[in-house]
Amino acid sequence: MKTKINLLFIVVMMFLFCARADEGMWLPYSINGQNLADMQRLGCKLTAEQIFSFNQPSLKDAIVQFGGGCTGELISAEGLLLTNHHCGLGQVQAHSSVEHDYLQEGFWARSKDQELPNEGLTVSFLTYIEDVTKAILDGVTDNMSEDERDAKIEENGKKLINERKGKREVEVEIVPFYHGNQYILFVYDVYKDVRLVACPPWGIGKFGADTDNWTWPRHKGDFCIFRVYTAPDGSPAEYSKDNVPMKSKHFLPISLKGIEPGDYTMILGYPGSTDRYSYSGSVRNVIEQEGPAIVACRTTKLEQYRKHMDADPAVFIQYASKQASVSNYWKYYIGQVKQLQRNKVLEKRLEQEQTFRQWAAQDKDRKAKYDGIFEEMDKYWEHQSQFTKALIYYREAGWRGGEAVAFALKFRALNYALENKVPQEKINAYAQKLKAAAQDFFKDYNKELDRDVTIALLNLFYKDIDRNMQCGILRKGDKTGGDFTAFVNNAFEKSIFVDANKLNAWLDHPKSLSKDPIFDLMSNIVETYITLSDIADKVSCSRADRLYMEGLMEMQNDRNFYPDANFTMRLTYGSVQDCQPTDGVEYSYITTLDGVMEKYVPGNWEFDVPQDLIKLWEKKDYGRYADKNGNLVVNFITTNDITGGNSGSPVIDAEGNLIGLAFDGNWEAMSGDISFENKVQRTICMDARYLLFIIDKMANAQNLMQELKIVE
C-alpha cells in the first residue's frame, strides 16, 4: 500500500511540474547548471555548446532578428528564412495590387529569380557578446547625481562601441540589464538583401484575424518565407542582381515526428519588452491610465479603418498591414488590463514590497542603503499619473494618429533648414530623400479614410483630455463643441501632405511650411508633447528602480533571476501541455484542420478559407503530414515563456529540430509581460506539419520542399 501511495505521489508531482508554465527568458550564452539541469529533466538532449557557441555552428546561428520587431530562423543551407505571416505582412502588402493580390491569393516564387526584393528590410545575426558592466560603470560613483551618472555611462558606452566596432561593417549595441545593474555588449552582422519567397493566402495566414487574436484555440497558418542574400564573397550587402543566396552557418531541420503532451520544447528569439520586477506604481499606471488610453484611441482609429476597408478592395490592400498593426496591441491592452485585475497583479506587487520593507528593516546596513526608495518611486508615479493619459493621446491620436499628420513630421528638419537659411546643397539633399518617402507614402494612402480618422481622433482628443493639457489648435474645439470636421476638411483642402502632385511640386521648389495647415497641426501637437514630456521627466526614480532591483536579488539570493526582455536573444524552455485556464474549462493542446472548417464563413474577411484547402480537407488528403489519428494538426500550445518580438521564433524539440512556429499568447495570461502566470500561461504555435502540408500539398511548391531537410 505504501508503495502505491509513493508511486501516486510521484505521478501527481510530475503532472504538477509539467502542467505549470516555465517562466524565464534566459540569455542563451550564460545558461547555468540549474537551467541546463531543468532543460535536461524536461527532455532536452542537446549540450549547451550545441545551443549557443562562438566556436562552432550552433542553434543561435540559425536565429535572426527579423525587421527589428520579430524573429526568424534559417531552414535551409541556402538562406531560406521562416517567420510569421504577420511579421512579413508589410512586405507582402507592398508587393500587392488589385491585379496581383498576394494578400488574398498568396505568393509562391517557383524559382529564385521570382523572389521579390524588399527595400529597407534587414535581418541581424548575433556574432559576439560581452559583459561590459565594469567598463561602462568606470568612473561612476555613488555621490553622482543621476544626470551625471547617465552622462558618464553614455561617454563610456560610446568609447567602447567605437573600440569594438573599429572599421568593421557591424552593428554594436550596449544594453542595460536588471534596471541598470548590468551592461552587456552585442555585435550583429546585418544583412540588407532579404527577398520574399512565399506567403500563404489570407484565409490561412490571417485566419481568425482580430476575433481570434490572443486567444486559444487557434487555427492559423501564421508563416511567411524569405531568403537572405549576400555579396558573392558571403558578406552582407545591399540588394544587387549579383548577390547570391546565403550559405547558412546552421539551419533547422524540420521534424514530422509530431507532438505529445510532455514533449520538450525550446524557443530561441528576440522578445521585446517585459517589466516583471517593476514597482506597484507602474502596474497601477497601466491599469488606470496607459491601457485605457491606448484602447480608446485605437478603437476610434480601427472603426474608421474598417468602414473604408470593407467598402473598397483596393483600400483593403492598402491598409491590411496598417490595420493589423493597430489592432494587435489594441486587443493586447484590452486583455492586459483585464488580466492584471483578474490575476491580482497589483496586490501581489504590494505584498512583495511589504516583504522587502520588512527584510530591509532587519539589518542596519540594508536599512541605510534602501531607505527612501519607495517614497522616491511613489513620488515619481504620482507625478507621472498626471501626464500619462495626455502623452498617450498626443502620440496615438496626435502625431501618430492621422497619416498625413504623421507624414508631415518627416518634414520638420527640411523646414528648419529652409527657415534658417541652411546651404542649398543640404536643402536639396533633404528634398531628394523626401521624394522617395513621398512615393512610398502615397502608394498606400487613402485621403478619405485619413480624413475620417483625423476628424474622429481630434474629436476624441478634445473630449478626453483636460483643457490645461491641450495644444492651441485643439482649443479651437471650444467654438465648435469639439467637432473638428470643418477644421480637418479645410486642412485637407489646402495642405500639400494629402496630394502627391502638390507635394512633389513643392519638393521641386521648397519653401517654408509655416502656412500649411497640416504641418501647423503637427507642429502644434509635437511641440506641446515635447513640453509636457519635459515636465513629466523632471521627476525620476531610476536610482530607486536600480536599488530596488539590486535589493530584490539580494533578498531572494536563492532565486535564479532572469533579466527582463529587451530585444536581445533569449532562450525559453518548456513542454507541450494542455490548459485549464478557468474553472470548468479544459483546452486540448492541439487544434486540427477540422476546427478550421468549423469556423469557416464564406466571404467573411476573418474566417473565409481558400477553395484549394477545402478540397484537400474534404478528401482528407493530408499525406504524411497527418497525425497518428489521421488528423492534420494546425496549432498547438506549450508552457514556454514568450512575448512580443518572439513572433516567428522557432519551436525546437529535444534534438534541435523545428516542430513549430511561435506566434501568440493566450488571453488568460495577458498580464504576463508584467507578471508571469505559471498556472495558465501558454505559447500558441503553428505546427511544422501544417507548414509543410501547405507548401507541399496545397501550393505544390516543390522547389522549396527540395531545399528543406525533413526528419521523419
Q: What is the pLDDT of residues 473-512, one digit of tens each?
A: 999 999 999 999 999 999 999 999 999 999 999 999 999 9
Cβ-contact 709, 254 below 8 angstroms:
yes
Contact criterion met (CB below 8 Å) for 457 and 397: yes
Q: What residue spans define the domains of the chain?
A: 39-122+192-275+564-711, 123-191, 280-536
Write down the pLDDT at residue 1. 35
Q: Please list, residue by residue across 243-273, b when 16 or more beta carbons sit within 10 angstroms of its beta carbon and e when fewer do.
A: bbbbebebbbbbbeebbeeebbbbbbbbbbe
CB contact at 8 A, 393 and 293: yes
Kindly report the average pLDDT of the chain as a whole number: 94
pLDDT at 99: 93
CA dist 571 and 27 (Å) reads 6
Active-site residues, by number, are 86, 222, 647
Tell me what pLDDT residue 637 has. 98
**pLDDT of 558 above 70:** yes
pLDDT band (50, 70, 90) for residue 472: very high
Q: What mean pLDDT do residues 425-437 have?
A: 90
Whether residue 8 has pLDDT greater than 60: no
Share of the chain above pLDDT 70, in %: 97
pLDDT at 582: 86
User: 39-122+192-275+564-711 is classed in which CATH architecture?
Assistant: Beta Barrel (2.40)
Phi, psi of 424 (to 5 degrees): -60, -30
pLDDT attached to residue 204: 98
What percent of the residues of the chain are helix, what percent strand, and what percent coil, each to the nearest 5?
50, 15, 35
DSSP state of 73: E
Phi then psi dihedrals of residue 36, to 5 deg: -65, -40
Mean pLDDT of 32-59: 92
Predicted pLDDT of residue 68: 84
pLDDT tens profile 650-687: 999 999 999 999 999 999 999 999 999 988 999 999 99
Q: Model-level pTM greater than 0.95?
A: no
Q: Quick one: pLDDT at residue 21? A: 62
The pLDDT value given to residue 583:
84
Torsional class of 466: left (φ above 0), alpha (ψ -120 to 50), beta (otherwise) = beta
Q: How far is CA 492 from the centre of its chain?
A: 33
User: For the segment 65-109, what is each residue's pLDDT rounded down to a tens digit?
Assistant: 999 899 999 999 999 999 999 999 999 999 999 999 999 999 999
Instruction: Let me know: does 70 contact 81? Beta carbons within 8 Å.
Output: no
Dump pLDDT digits (tens) for 326-371. 999 999 999 999 999 999 999 999 999 999 999 999 999 999 999 9
Contact 266, 39 (CB under 8 A): yes
pLDDT (tens digit, 9 = 90+) per residue, 254-290?
999 999 999 999 999 999 999 999 999 999 999 999 9
